[in-house]
Amino acid sequence: MTDDGDDLIDSVDEIDSVDEDVEIDNMTPAMRAALLEVLIHGALPRAELARRLHLSRASLTRITRVLVDGGLLAEGETRLMASTGRPSEMLTLRANARHFLGVKLTGDRLYAVVTDLSASIVASAERPLSSKEVVDVVAEIADVARGFAAEFPRLTSIGIAIAGRVSQGSEGAVVEQSAFLEWSEVPLGALVTEATGLACAVENDVQALTATEHWFGAGAGLDDMALLTVGVGIGCGLVVNGKLVEGAHSRSGQISHTIVDEAGPHCGLGHRGCASSVLVNDAIVGAYRQPGVDYPGVVAAARGGDPIALAVFADAGRALGVLAAGVVNLVDPQKVVVTGDGIAVVELAGDAVRAALEERLDREAAPVDLDVRTWDFSEWARAGGGLAIRAMLT
């Protein structure tokens, strides 16, 4: 995971002073790096782990001894790693050694999951928000955390995914703006830590989802990927050279108002033919023009063969294809993951998506691996859990 082993080598000398019950605040950089390799890439022999981290076998043995004794790694089966040579004992992740609370906040609901160290969901909960007031939302999060802590005593930290702009400061994460919750400049990370006693990471929901898919999902093992979310809004997350793209002002991936059809309708901001005017759920409902029919109703109509509904989704599909082509042309990802609560657009207009994608791709572009993922809101909350794990290890 790193080409610079000097910091890891320096940290090896600190290991003997680390208590065997490994916690976040006493894990050395070398220990974090070793754990991270096994977490992302699966079971590995010590020799391969030492090679990846640029450490001697002796140093690596000392590191893994603490991780095994602390219950984070386990010594697993023996495998023959080459046609000749001695079998190697594999180091595997003990996923249930720690648990993390992942939270997704919308304008009116709180979705929560508990994940293990591999970001697999082991428990979930959902409740309405009694109000949008910061103090009330923090109290709801703390109440959920207390409930889960009784069942999962090794609950380690919290990760919160939220629509809006989030910045990271010396005092923790600050929600600069969240339209759905009507918040501005809310130091949510510090407030939740104060209320729960647990470390708390907060991130924009699309960024959190992209990071989690990169480590634990469709992008595991890839250095370059893109993620597009469609639904109530449109989001884009990017991983380039193995790193999540954040932008100079924490505003990367703003593609909602990219023009996809110069003759298209106007969006709420007055842009003509932008993606937001045809691809988001409300735009699809508006284009269907049937009073009293909501987004699930338009989906049902299209599935039933309604030509008007199918035409509306075809327009949305073309918009998605244009967006995907723009991202591919710009960053050349190994994979484009498409997901979100509006993912039905691919089901109902997949041909339009792919036709627009092929039409707009640079002629020298590599073939696109378009990975369409099913969706429910627990995925947003799982992204919060993934965020908490990443915060622990980075």
Please tell me the distance from the alpha carbon of residue 177 to that of residue 182, in angstroms, as a whole number.
8
pLDDT at 4: 46
Give per-10-residue mean pLDDT for the chain (394 aa). Answer: 46 46 72 91 90 91 91 80 62 94 96 96 96 97 96 95 90 91 96 96 96 93 95 96 90 93 92 96 96 97 98 98 96 96 96 96 91 90 96 87
Please tell me the distance from the alpha carbon of residue 214 to that of residue 243, in angstroms, as a whole number.
9
Residue with tokens 């000749």: 84
pLDDT at 374: 87
pLDDT at 41: 87
Q: Taking the alpha carbons of 238, 254, 192, 107 in that order, is the dihedral positive or negative?
A: negative
pLDDT at 86: 60
Q: What is the pLDDT of residues 267-316, one digit of tens each?
A: 999 999 999 999 999 999 999 999 999 999 999 999 999 999 999 999 99
Residue with tokens 């809004």: 233
Helix (H, G, I), strand (E, B) or coil at 81: coil
This prediction has a pTM of 0.89
Residue with tokens 């703003």: 254
CB atoms within 10 A of CB 80: 10
pLDDT at 1: 42
CATH of domain 220-372: 3.30.420.40
* Long-range contact pairs involving 131-136 (C-beta distance under 8 Å, separation at least 24): 132/107, 132/181, 132/182, 132/183, 134/183, 134/186, 134/188, 134/191
Fold of domain 98-211+379-393: Nucleotidyltransferase; domain 5 (3.30.420)
Going by C-alpha positions, the residue among 229, 99, 232, 209 that lies closest to residue 160 is 209
User: Do 98-211+379-393 and 220-372 agree at the fold level?
Assistant: yes
Please give the class, per CATH, of domain 6-96: mainly alpha
Q: Taking the alpha carbons of 262, 266, 267, 271 in that order, is the dihedral positive or negative?
A: positive
CB atoms within 10 A of CB 134: 15
pLDDT at 25: 59
Classify burial at 247, counting beta carbons within 10 Å of its beta carbon; exposed 0-12, middle 13-18, buried 19 or more: exposed
Please tell me the distance from the alpha carbon of residue 2 to that of residue 29, in angstroms, as a whole number.
11
pLDDT at 82: 53
Helix (H, G, I), strand (E, B) or coil at 374: coil
Q: Where are the domains of the chain?
A: 6-96, 98-211+379-393, 220-372
